[in-house]
Chains A and B, each alone.
Chain A
Amino acid sequence: MTLANYIIALLEALRHCDPDAYGRVCHVVGQRSARIQLDDEVVIARMHLGALQVESGTDGGGDVSGEGRTTSATVLALLDGSLEVSEALLNDAISVQGELEQVNRMFQAIEILLDASPRCPELQALNRDFVEQKRDSSTAGNSLSFGYSNWYPFAVPRQERHLLARHDLLPRTAE
């Protein structure tokens, strides 16, 4: 299944299982568009009058509201619990770009999808298909391992580091 087909199938499954959640995705996304890259596949996804449109993004696709990029190996690691989202972002295994508002809305749409999935068998089936397909593919061996980040992504003053440490907000090291 191509990335475009997978995104369309996810939203169709959501619309079928949980129309209210689908409505919330439409509301959150509005008329925005996103460039989404998984491995070498790039698509532009946008909502138009409550319907999802997905087209190839390899030709550029013009301006978009935000961009997200990751790999199948990262998604598999996230799904099996060997990688946390925070670590993936810090390690650049997930890259998200856009203005804060646009990024926030992208993540809200993903959260709505994740939240609906326990009550939506079709979404679970798509998840299982994705995992089986990617585990079998040569591009996303499940042997990739991700360590927990033990660095902070940019230099911070000592006072700020102390403040973050006091509130237990620094990235933690593995056991």
Chain B
Amino acid sequence: MILSDTLRPPFLIDPTAHAYKDWFHLNFADAASDSIGLVNVSLHGSPWDDCSRAMGTVLLHNPESGWISHIEILSYLEANLGDSSIGLRDIGLAIEQRSGSIHASVAGSSSRFRARLLAEPVSLPLEIEQKMPLGSGWISWYLVPNMKVSGEWEIAGRRAVCTNLAGYHDHNWGRWHWGDDFGWEWGCFLANPLPPGNPSFVFARTCDRRHQRYGDAFLLADWGGTRKRFSADSVAIRLAGRFDGVVHRVHGALAALHQEMAQPDLPTGLTLVASRGTDRIEISFEARAAAQFITADPVLRGYGFIHELMGKYSCFGRLGGKVFETLGYAVFEYVV
């Protein structure tokens, strides 16, 4: 039973309420259409400020259609907010508290991607309640590393019923302002759903905006009943290359404003090696496409640039005494 995957709005007397941020996030990947995507619904700013905004973001990439994106921004009053749901006009995401299942919906007559998805937990959640420093504020984290996603969607006019997609869910909340001196690197390496029983991995570390001073790295490996968490001193990360493809940028008004970020300095790959005792993991990731989601703070002038690098990974190693080798889809997030 999952009881704590709910929005965490500030109390009325919270002096930091203006910096409130909260989001639900779902990643998914489909081998049949070679698609990788995400649905994110988020809250930015105090519940008592008319400038605060609820935002829905949908990104999907496959080699045939390229990038498809949909951004929706409403006031809190216009949005439909529940304890564990954020509903906008076209984009919505709700979490069933008893089962931990997630219902995600993407609509809109002009959208090239429409979907109704159900994500069911395959692995147990991990909650990191403590407030990790982030810029001038903090961030907390709740994640489910492995989810089974099914539903139906339409991509660029092509409808499909999907079953057994790889999935990942997280929920972040905290207090910070976009534009503060912070960044992060985060990656989810989705469990290959065919055949079932493959491991999944989640990696994260915070840093300054220039990615020169890093916080402690975090790596979680989840493989059936085996869950291993690697501490910072047992994880080595190497970012490789420079992504030289066209970066898809949304939303467009902020992309027009930030021409200096049209060709950001992004890695094209990542290798990650972790070892602790007899456990060892080696992950190689190669990005095939990159998108830049520009976030603007509704309270103070400031911008964050969340880069979603999507591609495939391969991994081998030994966990709990068992040797494994796997490959699948991954999303690597590079935030400045």
Contact A81:B66 (CB < 8 A) given known A119-B298, A119-B301, A168-B263:
no
Residue-wise interface mask of B (245-279) relative to A, using a CB-CB cutoff of 8 A (1 in contact, 0 not): 11011111111110100110000000000000000
A-B pairs under 8 A by CB, number: 71
Residue from A79, A82, A121, A135 within 8 A of B253 (CB atoms): A79
Contact in complex: A78, B301 (CB < 8 Å): no
* A80 in contact with B251 given A118-B297, A121-B51 (CB within 8 Å): yes
Would A78 and B253 count as touching, CB distance under 8 A?
yes
Whether A81 pairs with B69 at a CB distance below 8 angstroms is yes
Report the separation of the CA atoms of residues A121 and B245 in the bound assembly, to the nearest whole angstrom.
34
Residues of A within 8 A of B255 (CB): 78, 81, 84-85
Given contacts A121-B75, A168-B263, contact A114 B298 (CB under 8 A): no
B50 and A118 within 8 A (CB): no
User: What is B's interface to A at a CB cutoff of 8 Å?
Assistant: 50-51, 53, 66, 69, 71, 73, 75, 110, 244-246, 248-257, 259, 262-263, 289, 296-299, 301
Q: Which residues of B contact A79 (CB under 8 A)?
A: 251-253
The answer to whether A81 touches B248, judged by C-beta atoms less than 8 angstroms apart, is yes
**Which residues of B sit under 8 angstroms from A84, Cβ to Cβ?**
249, 255-256, 262
Shortest Cβ distance from A173 into B: residue: B246
Please classify the interface of chain A as helix (H, G, I), strand (E, B), loop, or mixed, using the class held by over half of its residues. Answer: helix
Residues of A within 8 A of B262 (CB): 84, 86
- Assembly CA distance A84 to B246 (angstroms): 11
Hey, which chain A residues are within 8 Å of B299, CB to CB? 119
Which single member of B66, B252, B301 contacts A80 (CB below 8 Å)? B252
The answer, among A82, A114, A172, for a CB contact under 8 Å with B257, is A114
- Are B110 and A111 in contact, CB atoms less than 8 angstroms apart? no
B253-A111 in contact (CB<8A):
no
| Count of interface residues, chain A, beta-carbon cutoff 8 Å | 27
In angstroms, Cα B71 to Cα A79, docked, is 10
Contacts of A83 in B (CB 8 A): 252
Q: Are A175 and B256 in contact (CB under 8 A)?
A: no
Residues of chain B within 8 A (CB-CB) of A124 are 53, 73
- In chain A, positions 107-150 with a C-beta closer than 8 Å to chain B are 111, 114-115, 117-121, 124, 127, 135, 142, 148
Q: Which residue of B lies closest to A127 (CB)?
A: B253
Which residue of A85, A120, A135, A174 is within 8 Å of B246 (Cβ)? Answer: A174
* A175:B257 contact, CB within 8 angstroms: no
23 interchain pairs, CB-CB under 8 A:
A77-B252, A78-B255, A79-B251, A80-B71, A80-B250, A80-B252, A81-B71, A81-B251, A81-B255, A84-B255, A84-B256, A85-B256, A86-B262, A114-B256, A114-B257, A118-B298, A121-B51, A124-B53, A127-B253, A168-B263, A172-B244, A172-B263, A175-B245
Nearest to A172 among chain B residues (CB) is B246
Q: Assuming the A-B contacts A79-B253, A174-B246, are A119 and B263 also in contact, with contact meaning beta carbons closer than 8 angstroms in the complex?
A: no
* CB–CB A86/B51 < 8 A: no
Contacts of B110 in A (CB 8 A): 135, 142
Q: Mark A78-99, 1 if CB is under 8 A from B, else 0.
A: 1111111110000000000000
Q: Which residue of B lies closest to A175 (CB)?
A: B245
